[in-house]
């Protein structure tokens, strides 16, 4: 794949101006995500009320792919139910690892901009880290690691 198809303007924009960046003072749930391969860290705080995500924020040190993924994720799940968020988490992981058929109905909307990541196996974990962390926060797990991901990345085609 050509890298420009990954670093599209929408991703670059979310990297430059991340939405929902920061930390909620009165979070009901939180988790820290960690990618031990590169040392990236991500903190997610959210307010869950009646199983609905009323507010969510993230902060941390990470690459553009991870930051944009986190930014777009927070925008996508804010106001959604826990069940809807879990559906998005599942679909995003399937998308990033090349297992989602985007021609079939799904709920990802603009998040499909990350579909090109499946061709860069070393970067898949960057995109998935925020979603792992959100899953951990929703399930009251303090931390998440990309190394818990059992998805097998595909090899890039450089022929």
Residues that bind another protein (CB under 8 A): 2-4, 6-7, 12, 15, 37-41, 61-65, 120, 123, 126, 158
- Distance between CA atoms of residues 125 and 131, nearest Å: 10
CA angle 28, 84, 89 (to 5 degrees): 85
**Residue closer to another protein (CB basis): 8 or 102:** 8
CB-based contact 72:110 (threshold 8 Å) = yes
**Residue closer to another protein (CB basis): 8 or 54:** 8
**Residue closer to another protein (CB basis): 15 or 53:** 15
Residue 42's φ and ψ, nearest 5 degrees, are -145, 130
**8-state DSSP, 144:** E
Q: In the block, which residue shows the tokens 């991870």?
A: 66
**Minimum gap (Å) between residue 140 Cβ and another protein:** 27
**Residue closer to another protein (CB basis): 27 or 68:** 68
**Minimum gap (Å) between residue 67 Cβ and another protein:** 8
**Minimum gap (Å) between residue 69 Cβ and another protein:** 13
């Amino acid at each position: 794949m050509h890298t420009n198809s990954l670093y599209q303007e929408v991703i670059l924009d979310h990297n430059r101006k991340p939405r929902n960046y920061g930390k909620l003072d009165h979070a009901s749930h939180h988790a820290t995500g960690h990618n031990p391969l590169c040392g990236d860290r991500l903190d997610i705080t959210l307010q869950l009320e009646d199983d609905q995500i009323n507010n969510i924020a993230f902060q941390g040190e990470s690459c553009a792919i991870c930051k944009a993924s986190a930014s777009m994720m927070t925008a996508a799940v804010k106001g959604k139910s826990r069940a809807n968020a879990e559906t998005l988490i599942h679909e995003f992981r399937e998308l990033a690892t090349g297992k989602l058929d985007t021609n079939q109905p799904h709920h990802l909307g603009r998040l499909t901009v990350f579909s090109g990541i499946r061709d860069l196996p070393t970067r898949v974990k960057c995109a998935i880290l925020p979603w792992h962390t959100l899953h951990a926060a929703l399930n009251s797990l303090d931390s998440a690691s990309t190394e818990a991901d059992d998805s097998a990345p595909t090899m890039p085609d450089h022929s």
